[in-house]
Amino acid sequence: MAGNFVYQSVLLLLAFYYTDVYGLSAATVTGIFLFVRIFDAVTDPLMGFLADRTNTRWGKYRPYLLILCVPYAIASVLVFTVPELGMTGKTVYAYATYAFLMLLFTATNIPYFALGSTMTANPVERTSLNSYRFAAATAGGLLVTVMVLPMANWIGGEDKAMGYQRAMMVMAAISVVLFLITFLSTKERVKPVNTGAKGYLSDLKQVFANDQWRLLAVVVLLMVTAQTIKATSGIYYMTYYVKADEFMVTVFLSIWMVGGIFGSALAGRLSRLVCKKTAWSALCFLLALLSGVTYLIGPQYLYLVLGMQFFVGFFNQMMAPLLTSIMADVTDYGELQNRRRTDGLIASFTVGTLKVALAIGGAMATFLLAVYGYKSGGVEQTQETAMGILVTFTLVPVIGFVACGLIISRMKLDRKAVAENSSRLQEIRAGM
């Protein structure tokens, strides 16, 4: 939940904030997203190496949540602060503060991603664990959509910049409390098998030699790119195509989160009924269908738009626990092959891939806005621009979702293979 305060603020609000409040052009925002997110992705493996080699009385991964939660909160406020500088100075400030925030996102979320794999070795428990985790994370996103925009309007009034800043101060303070609760209430239990070759280079080779991780990385790249394009363009879709007021924009963003909470909570039950790989692939195809159908809904059918958004959020977030659980299965697969476990490094490369996808998706969304003639500053848009926003929000993500479904079906970590790998690893650990 704490991590999602910032993640969803960046995903759902930052592009709109930069163009319509901060005053940057869509092209400048495209450059910021590409540079900062790709730079940030490069730092992920370094954090993974560091986390895997950390040994404290609190464990390998938990200490980072304790040490970095306050700097992370401060950085999130700085991003949503408009400095009294010229346009060049504001652009440099945006680059610097966003880069700082994403660097701290890396330093907290790489250990956090790895933490789940070390809390239990049971594949069923991992899916259940991640189901609750993503339900809470989506609830964090819901708080962002429900609280940030109304708070910004209530606190700032006509001064949108001050409103966004003060609203993020509230969210940042809550996030610190939640990070501390996470640190205090978790425990690292899994004893890794580390009898194989050690060293930075050998660990790196093991990650890329893991054919199941390579497939997972391609899926994450395509899926998050599609999700980011859809999420980034959503607020533009409601504002300039549907022409909804600010209250209905908030409802639109929130109803996605409500659907996501239910979807995340039910992911564990789904994985008990159907193989995780099969379920994930089917959900991708279903999302492609729903996104395509949304293109056909006219702006006058507001409640139908909201209903479709609920189900998009429901099925989209149902995938999240499956992804994280499969990441742990991929780590088990590599551990069995190489007799060395690298939770932090696998997590870092997976999150690094996710961030590259965030960069590509965010840049593609704002690039398409520029192509369709979007004008910054909250001014009226042309009909051509509105239709371009519709295409960006609905049809462009379909390509990514369909490709993901096809690639997932090629993975060999089905239910039988996962159970066999887990059983063999338990036997090896018992003999250590």
Q: Per-residue pLDDT tens for 121-179?
A: 887 788 788 888 888 888 888 888 778 878 888 887 778 888 888 888 998 999 999 99
Q: Please check the confidence at residue 327 and state whether its pLDDT lies above 90.
A: no
Within-domain flag for 246: yes
Torsion of CA 61, 63, 66, 70, to 10 degrees: -80
Structure tokens at 160: 């949108």
DSSP one-letter code for 12: I
**Structure confidence at residue 14 as a pLDDT band (50, 70, 90):** confident
- The CATH number for 77's domain is 1.20.1250.20
Residue 191 lies in a domain: no
More confident site: 292 or 190: 292
| pLDDT of residue 413 exceeding 90 | no
Count of C-beta atoms within a 10 Å radius of residue 115: 26
Judge whether 255 lies within some domain.
Answer: yes
Residue found by looking up tokens 């702006």 in the block = 299
In the prediction, which pLDDT does 424 show? 87
Confidence band for 116, pLDDT divided at 50, 70 and 90: confident
In a domain, 168, yes or no: yes
> What does 281-329 look like in DSSP terms, one character per residue?
HHHHHHHHHHHHHHTTS-TT-HHHHHHHHHHHHHHHHHHHHHHHHHHHH
Q: The domain containing residue 317 runs over which residues?
A: 2-186+206-430
Quick one: pLDDT at residue 301? 93
For residues 370, 371, 375 and 381, what is the CA-based torsion angle, rounded to 10 degrees? Answer: -140
Q: Is residue 164 part of a domain?
A: yes
Tens digit of each residue's pLDDT (9 = 90 or more) over 351-366 = 788 878 888 898 899 8
CA 262 to chain centre: 18
The type of residue at 186 is T
pLDDT exceeds 60 at position 196: no
Locate 45 and state its tokens.
């493996």
**Which tokens belong to 428?**
């090896």
Q: Does residue 195 form part of some domain?
A: no
What would the two tokens of residue 188 be? 């690292």
**Is residue 199 one of the residues assigned to a domain?**
no
Q: How would you class 93 by CB atoms within 10 Å of its CB: exposed for 0-12, middle for 13-18, buried for 19 or more?
A: middle
Dump pLDDT digits (tens) for 210-230: 889 999 999 999 999 999 999
Q: Which two three-digit tokens encode residue 7?
A: 């993640």
* pLDDT tens column, 229-284: 998 899 899 989 999 887 888 888 888 888 988 888 888 788 888 888 999 999 99
Q: Which residues of 414-426 are buried (b: 16+ CB within 10 A; e: fewer)?
A: eeebbeebbeebe
8 Å CB contact between 145 and 248: no
Number of separate domains in the chain = 1
Q: What's the confidence (pLDDT) of residue 397?
A: 95
196 is a domain residue: no
